[in-house]
Structure 1
Amino acid sequence: MPDIPSDFDPESPEEREIAGQAATDRGDFLSLMGHAYRGELGRMTSWRTRIDRTTNWGVVVTASLLTWAFSTDTRPHYVLLVGVVMLSVFLVIEVRRYRIYDIWRSRVRLFEENVFANALDPEGVEQSQWRELLSDDLREPTIKTPTHEALSRRLRRVYFPLFTVLVGAWVVRLSVFADGIGTVEAAAIGSIPGGFVIPAVAIYYTGLTLITFWPMRRRAKGAVESADSTEEWK
């Protein structure tokens, strides 16, 4: 370990404010920004991996249940509804992970827009107060993506197609393997009548559809959207 100077006093005001000197030195400041960017990029990548892991669980569960449910005509139909419940649990976990992931992604985009983009083509920064924004967020990290937006985004990108496949397979399972009884009677689960199960599934799926496609302004920083979309730092 390097020797610490004998006159080094970590409690002195000069040593406490030593990092602030980088703000007045261009070389030190740009070097600090490079290290900070790599750190935030590493955090973002780590949380991106966690999101992908949950998505993989959902895909594997869906594929496994579909294969098992249609392997023979004696398989119970409600196994597919169990898959819907499991997907819902994965979705809740992924929404939480996505909101935390967006903390680091928003910082990475702030670096890219105001430091690296301007270094490559100096036309001016995107946010004139980007240093203050970044400083405030480092001191008090905040979740910037609302829960409903994160839920809608993950449904649209991944989970709504999986829910659609499971619900569609459930309908086919009831229709094709009804064994001579009506679809409503076939939808019964134990003592729960089919007249209750079918409306409950329909209401749940309708709610998912509304959440997925209800128009709203995107607030997530750095998300890939269409060319006419607008984003802002929140």
Structure 2
Amino acid sequence: MAGDSRLDIQKMAANLAHLYRGEMARADAWRARLDTTTNWALTTTAAVVTLGLGSPEITHTVFLVGMYLVINFLVIEARRYRVWDAYMTRIRLLEIGLYVPLLRNEPFELAQMRELATLLEGPRVLISFWAALGQRVKRAYAAYLGVLLVAWLVKLSVGYRRAEGASGFIAMMHVGLIPGWVVLVLVLAVYVVLGFEMVSKLLAGPPATELIAKPARRRPLSEVFARPAPPSSPSGREPANP
């Protein structure tokens, strides 16, 4: 009986190792999909800014089109992030419930293993669309959309005359038959919603599925201009000259 139980434990450990590798492969595949949309958003932002500010004949509408495209990439990426988060949650449960106690020679965390079994029995996404959207805005898209907004305002200011006042500046935002104030309200509404989601995620802290950034050590001013001496060897002896 003892030999059978030992064999069962070995089989379980091998199966869990295969499960861990499989979950990591799935998470890596969805991580690559996230990187694809992020790269497309970066390429679109660079192309729109270069084209819009480099050609006087191009109107400010190109920046609105760029915002629309980047927001579409953001929506796609938020949906992909939800799936990636589901796989990463299962990986973290397996790491916390099995591998961490194993390395510490402690009893297994049964709560995490039961939760993992529940997720394996009924796979589902664990975060809302808006939560995923806020995470991606915080990580990358705030910079892209911020650059497009600044470039759009710079493009509008090129043909602006101070004598026209604020109403004249807003009127320049028109797109075809759409008045400028309508365009301004739509742009502000989108940025306010995305900004609110980003701030809420900043206040909430990093999710459990992402790495926690190590706080940077405050360097003394003397180390900025003078290189500190290398630490001595553990044996207390000076290292030999090469």
Q: Quote the Cα distance in structure 2 between the aligned partners of 1:22 and 1:146.
A: 42
Q: How does 1:53-202 map to 2 (within 5 A)?
A: 53-125=36-108, 127-178=109-160, 182-202=168-188
Q: Aligned-residue CA RMSD in angstroms?
A: 2.5
**Alpha-carbon shift at residue 89 of structure 1 (Å):** 0.8
1:121, 1:209 → 2: CA distance?
A: 42
The 1:219/1:143 distance shift into structure 2, 3 A limit, reads farther
> Structure 1 residues 136 and 177, CA, compared in 2 at 3 Å: closer, same or farther?
same
Q: Relative to structure 2, which stretch is displaced further, 45-54 or 196-205?
A: 196-205
Q: Name the structure 1 match of 2:231.
A: none
Shift of 1:200: 2.2
Structure 1 runs of 4+ aligned residues shifted over 6 Å read: 21-24
- What's 2:196 paired with? 210
Unaligned runs of 5+ in 1: 1-20, 228-234
Tell me the residue number matched to 2:210: 223
Tell me which residue corresponds to 2:222: none
Amino acid at match of 1:141: P
Amino acid in the other structure paired with 1:134: L
Quick one: distance in 2 between partners of 1:50 and 1:23?
Answer: 41
CA separation of 1:105/1:32 partners in 2, compared to 1, >3 Å: closer, same or farther?
A: same
2:35 counterpart letter in structure 1 = D
| Greater share of helix | 2
The Cα shift of 1:141 comes to: 0.4
Contact 2:37 2:77 in 1 (8 A): yes
Q: How far has the Cα of 1:190 moved from its partner?
A: 1.0
- Does structure 2 retain, via aligned residues, the 8 Å contact 1:91–1:154? yes
Q: Secondary structure at the match of 1:68?
A: helix
TM-score by length of 2: 0.77
Q: Structure 2, unaligned stretches of length 5 or more?
A: 215-242
Amino acid at match of 1:99: R
Q: How many percent identity over aligned positions?
A: 31
How far off its partner does 1:214 sit?
Answer: 2.3
Shift of 1:193: 1.7
* Distance of 1:163 and 1:123 partners within structure 2: 48
Question: Which residue identity does 1:202 align to in structure 2?
Answer: L
In the alignment, is the contact (CA less than 8 A) between 2:206 and 2:212 conserved in 1? no
1:187-234, Cα deviation, whole Å (9 max, x unpaired):
11111121222222122212211111025646954223468xxxxxxx
Letter of the structure 2 residue corresponding to residue 43 of structure 1? R
**Retained in 2: the 8 A contact 1:87–1:163?**
yes
| 1:23, distance to aligned residue in structure 2 (A) | 10
Pairs aligned (count): 207
Report if the CA contact (8 A) 1:69-1:76 is conserved: yes
Counterpart CA distance in 2 for 1:175 and 1:80 is 14
